[in-house]
Copies of this chain bind each other. A is one copy, B any other.
Amino acid sequence: MQPDKGQTRKSIKQRLALKSRLAKETLAEFLGTFIMIVLGCGCVAQAVLSRGHFGGIVTINVGFAMSVVMAIYVTGGVSGGHINPAVSFAMCLFGRMKWFKLPFYVGAQFLGAFVGAATLFGVYYDGFMSFAGGKLLIVGENATAFIFATYPAPYLSLVNAFADQVVSTTFLLLIVFAIFDSRNLGVPKGLEPVVIGLLIIVISSSLGLNSGCAMNPARDLSPRLFTALAGWGFEVFTAGNNFWWIPVVGPLVGAVIGGLIYVLLIEIHHPDPHIDFETPSENKPEKYEISVMM
């Protein structure tokens, strides 16, 4: 490791380092959503492909939550670790992110989730090929499509399905707002991702039965599109009475409601008049933007 070599590498770094903050954030959101899908949907894959021998509801709920924790640790200091279009949308709406960033964040999230689904398929390629005689099925006991995207329970009507996605994302955002509200009880700095992980454990253990608790348009739509292209066919979109749009639109509505409830019932009443939630985001401390999610 001669100094010259260090010199050379330093200049390589200087050439590679992104100057634009938005470019870095976009890259981070891509990477974070990618990680969440590979590791999170991977927990479902392991449970399904082993027919329950090496995974089940506990490893899925805990594992998916921890995949979100890890994605936030990788991206939180750069982009705020949204990894969820509904979160990014709410951040813009509540003045915590500028609107012009939204398409970059959302695009990176959808792309990261798609590449993540493809990577997971590759890692378990032999497993998929041997699971149902090589057939990639959407329904029945050999179904594997729900490893990637969520599907509704047989009993679920469209109205209830929509309400379900709205309500679960409402709780998600309401509590995420609390977790990052330093004027409330206050999660110690650097541990917010872990507490968010605990939050996802409880939501997926309590509100996951109706349709698997997607709460995230990118987490659901991109892997669904991947399965459509990879061999499961476009019935992944028509299945469950054209269910596909519900985990896309529902979370957007729920995120707004969740944020509103927290702001109106808690945040607005905090005594300190100097820190004001309507302050435009550029004056906010960096940390506040970290809002995150599954």
Name 30 interchain pairs, CB-CB below 8 A, sorted by A.
A1-B95, A16-B264, A24-B269, A31-B266, A38-B171, A39-B207, A40-B206, A41-B206, A42-B207, A50-B209, A56-B57, A69-B195, A73-B178, A73-B185, A75-B266, A77-B183, A77-B184, A77-B186, A119-B167, A122-B163, A124-B209, A126-B153, A126-B156, A127-B156, A127-B209, A185-B190, A188-B191, A191-B191, A194-B198, A197-B198
Determine if A45 and B278 form an interchain contact, defined as CB atoms under 8 angstroms apart.
no
CA distance A189 to B194 in the complex (A): 14
Shortest CB-to-CB span from A164 to chain B, Å, is 6
- A residues adjacent to B (C-beta < 8 A): 1, 6, 9-10, 13, 16-18, 24, 27-28, 31, 35, 38-43, 45-46, 49-50, 53-63, 66-67, 69-70, 72-78, 81, 95, 119, 122-127, 129-130, 153-157, 160, 163-164, 167, 171, 174-175, 178-179, 181, 183-195, 197-199, 201-203, 205-210, 261-262, 264-266, 268-269, 276-278, 280, 290
CA distance A82 to B233 in the complex (A): 45
What is the count of identical protomers in the complex?
Answer: 4
Nearest B residue (CB) for A5: B278
A134 to B32, CA, bound (A): 43
> Are A280 and B1 in contact, CB atoms less than 8 angstroms apart?
yes
